[in-house]
A and B are shown apart, each in its own frame.
Chain A
Amino acid sequence: MDYSDLRRQAAYMKKSLFDQGYLDEQFYQLEDLQDDVSPNFVEEVVTLFFKDSSRLLSNIEQALEKNSPDFQKLDSLTHQLKGSTSSIGALKVKNECTLLREYCNKENLDGCFRTFQKVKREHAILRQKLEAYFQLLRQIGPAEGASRPVI
């Protein structure tokens, strides 16, 4: 295996994620936390995030589909989602969440729907990208010890 190639690839992938605004600073923080003690920290957190956020998303969806949606609840759910997205640095998702919250506050159901769709989409895209990224990393893998591609 040509690690240098893979590493370059991973580096590129990561860079583009940042450039395109999928990830932000916070993701660096996560990477910083990764060390020998927790070598897969970032991936673990991201996995955890997607698991939890999927749940939240479905809750939000349910809430939206009610006849008379409870905006308070919606707001609270979105708030939670926003919190976790910001914790991992999922920038685009977070931004859409912010928008969604605004619509909730205004009780603009239509706006909520539309924005929610965006949230879902961004969420899915990010998930895809990160999965690819981690897969690559795994290939480079722990064997190399340097699981963090250099930018």
Chain B
Amino acid sequence: MTVEEKWGSMGGDEDQGDQFPIGMRVLAVDDDPTCLKVLENLLLRCQYHVTTTNQAIKALNMLRENKDKFDLVISDVHMPDMDGFKLLELVGLEMDLPVIMLSANGNKDAVMMGISHGACDYLLKPVRIEELRNIWQHVVRRRKFDHKERCSFDNGEDHDKPLAANSEGTQTIGDNGPLDHSGKVNRKRKDQNEEDEDYCDENTHESEDPSSQKKPRVVWSVELHRKFVAAVNQLGIDKAVPKRILDLMNVEKLTRENVASHLQKYRLYLKRLSAVASQQANMAAALGGRDTSYLHMGTFNGFGNFHGLSTSGPLQGFTAFQPSGISRRTNPNLLGLPGLAPGTVQIGLTQNTTNNHMSDLSKFQHIVAPSNQHENLLQGIPTSLELDQLQQNQKRIQEANNRLPGVFSGASNNSFISAANSSMILQGHQQQTELRGLISQSSIAMPSIGADRLEMSSGVTSHLPDLSRCNETWQSAPSLSGYNANTLSMGSSYGNDNMASSNMGGNLASAVPQFNGNPLNITSNNLLTTAQDSLMGRDMQCRTSSLSGNTLLMPSGIDVDPKFLNFKSSANLKQKLEDPTQLNALESNITLSSSLTSTLPNQTLLNTVADSQRLHSRTYSKKVDGNTISPPCFDTSFMSVYTKMNKSNIDSRLTFNEENMLGSSKMQGGFASSNCNFDELMNAMIKPERDDVIFVDGEIGSDLFPLSTCM
């Protein structure tokens, strides 16, 4: 493996003006040593800077280490440790780098696969040097296009518009309100934006030349994405064309191109979700889980950067949470367990594992698939990949977790986050800026855990208060249906007494019951499942029942350790409720937990849920110790909600939501209670003692998604 030093700045096309493509930094990945060597030399001959590796995992790590280290990735399709297409997707989504596929197989189908996964190009082996001489075009093209989007929007189409209005160069289209929020949300983009801003600022003066105009990158805020998804839903995913979406969205300064590219990513995301769902199904089967669907929670960074939940096949995918009643708040922590089937919820993985900003709740990007879709949209999120990532992420999460309030045991993050990260795919969709806005709330739909064991892995920060936010966010998002394919790897501190403080409950609480067919993100982002145990080994999979459109993160079936309920309720839910921007509300979660009432009510709920969702109530009952759980303000309404939910009665849930979640004030009380409930449920569902808490995917019809994390 030859590692060559990378040149100075990031790609620095500006610097390399006339020199480019000389020195372009290429990362070559191929398991075949012969091909790799030849490729390397060919690239060197083209005067590129070449780094080679024969393992996709290593490649990913390298890329994640420093996103600006490479300009282009060339990868073989056929690799033993990871499918080339998966790598392709991940790179495209996480790092937004152009990827060229390489293969000896020139079948139309294979090429098609490459294209649909987002490859810039598809080369056949043996590669000829002539072909390699031209690959720099992909880098340039991408840069140009990105710049166009990034720079001031004004400059985009109408070159004569002064940049004054957008002096920063980066504009949030449409919804200028939460700029801060967006800023927070789009932390990853910020750096890039800053660079672009500078560039743009320079360019503003060159307004004469249209072609050199750099448009500001469109920041897909929550609002924006919401509108987008709403528009797509309205049109129907098949008929959604950029032009019409644009019209429906009715957002100024948004161009058709922006919509088109966003749509493309969105589609990819949906496909991945469905693929993952089927994969998960297999996995579930393999694991011998009792439940049909495993919910794999994407990694949660800190507060759960919830990276795409891949739901198992049977899960129908869940619709996005759309707590209609809940006030809107953009909660960056949006844990949405993507339900595959109808309205798959795509959890926008906010940040890659690399960006584990624990405190950055905005990481949760939840992409909600149109509820119209009743198919597994999750595409094959490689389980293995996920697990790998889980591992990787866990580490990260751990680090990140340090920042988390004590409530959440750092461990949780890891497991969960890693899990989440595994759903990079989902994550990828986010490109960080994209869905960030949309699903700020981490809504984790915890499928009713039908299985005996609920493995809550990964600390999902459940900001229960975020429910309100969730609602908002989710409005546009189609309901999250079951997390079938999502393996909820809730990094729950299983079997650990620490669980108590783990945010399990909280996180799970984020299960937003979806009422009225709209999955509610209960605890948008508030799912803090501190995965204390190394979730690595566990396939924490939460099976999400395919809640038809209801994503209820109900740690049903989770043996919640009462300890969990002992969230340190730091921040009040109130605060959280009212302050959507405080996604880092681990505290909020904690608050929730504290507000959790006795386990009993939870149990009841859980039981009900379990029943309906094939929850093994016994697990639940056993698990809940009830000690740490402070008497939860168990709202009757909440109870009813659950019951309703169990009945897959979305409406009732919605009601519940509305009752409990509407309004911050209301939320506090009601929410708190509901949160508590959730938390408790979650806790109850989490079996601290056991690592193998599996979120069983109860067949919650449209009810709660069972959280089944398979360890």
Residues of A within 8 A of B (CB): 26, 29-30, 32-33, 38, 41, 44-45, 48-49, 52-53, 76, 79-80, 82-84, 86-89
Contact = CB atoms under 8 A, between A and B. Distances in A.
A33 B42 contact: yes
Contact of A32 (B104, B126, B129): B129
Contact of B35 (A38, A44, A76, A87): A87
Nearest 8 Cβ contacts at the A-B interface: A83-B104, A84-B34, A49-B34, A86-B126, A26-B126, A33-B41, A87-B35, A87-B126
B61 interface: no
B125 interface: yes
Contacts of B104: 79, 82-83, 86
Contact of B41 (A26, A38, A76): A38
A105 to B, nearest CB: 11
Contacts of A44: 37
Contacts of A45: 34, 37-38
A44 B37 CA distance: 9
B465 to A, nearest CB: 50
Contacts of A53: 34
Nearest to B78: A79
B126 A89 contact: yes
A26 B125 CA distance: 10
Given A45-B34, A87-B125, 10 more contacts: A29-B42, A29-B126, A33-B41, A79-B78, A83-B78, A84-B34, A84-B35, A86-B125, A87-B32, A87-B39
A62 to B, nearest CB: 16
Contacts of B33: 48, 52
B128 interface: yes
A83 B35 contact: yes
**Which of B45, B78, B126 has most A Cβ within 10 Å?**
B126
Nearest to A82: B104
A48 B34 contact: yes
Given A38-B41, A76-B78, A79-B104, A87 B129 contact: no
Given A48-B34, A76-B78, A87-B38, A29 B129 contact: yes
Contacts of A32: 45, 129
Interface string B74-115: 001010000000000000000000000001110000000000
Given A29-B42, A33-B42, A52-B32, A83 B37 contact: no
Given A45-B37, A79-B105, A88-B38, A33 B32 contact: no
Contacts of B127: 87
Interface residues of B, number: 21
A39 to B, nearest CB: 12
Interface in B16-45: 31-35, 37-39, 41-42, 45
A29 B33 CA distance: 17
A44 B402 CA distance: 49
A97 to B, nearest CB: 9
A113 to B, nearest CB: 22
Interface string B620-639: 00000000000000000000
Contacts of B126: 26, 29, 86-89
Contact of A33 (B34, B45, B105, B125): B45
Contact of A83 (B32, B42, B128, B129): B32
9 contacts: A29-B42, A29-B128, A32-B129, A33-B38, A41-B41, A48-B34, A52-B34, A86-B126, A89-B126
A31 B32 CA distance: 20
Given A76-B78, A79-B78, A79-B105, A87 B34 contact: yes
A29 B39 CA distance: 11
A66 to B, nearest CB: 19
A76 B42 CA distance: 25
A84 B32 contact: yes
Interface in B105-161: 105, 125-129
A103 B621 CA distance: 57
A79 B76 CA distance: 12
Contacts of B31: 80
A63 B33 CA distance: 22
**Which of B31, B37, B104, B129 has most A Cβ within 10 Å?**
B104
A86 B105 CA distance: 11
A30 B38 contact: yes
A26 to B, nearest CB: 5
Nearest to A30: B38
Contacts of B37: 44-45, 48
Contacts of B32: 52, 80, 83-84, 87
B45 A88 contact: no
Nearest to A37: B44
Nearest to A51: B33
B125 A83 contact: yes
A91 B200 CA distance: 52
Contacts of A38: 41
Contacts of A83: 32, 35, 76, 78, 103-104, 125
B209 to A, nearest CB: 40
Contacts of A87: 32, 34-35, 38-39, 125-127
Nearest to B38: A87
Nearest to B130: A29
Nearest to B31: A80
B323 to A, nearest CB: 46
A80 B125 CA distance: 11
Contacts of A79: 78, 104-105
A26 B31 CA distance: 20
Interface in B406-455: none
A45 B34 CA distance: 6
**Which of B31, B33, B34, B129 has most A Cβ within 10 Å?**
B34
A86 B128 CA distance: 11
A146 B127 CA distance: 26
A80 B78 contact: yes
Contacts of B35: 83-84, 87
A110 B38 CA distance: 34
B212 to A, nearest CB: 37
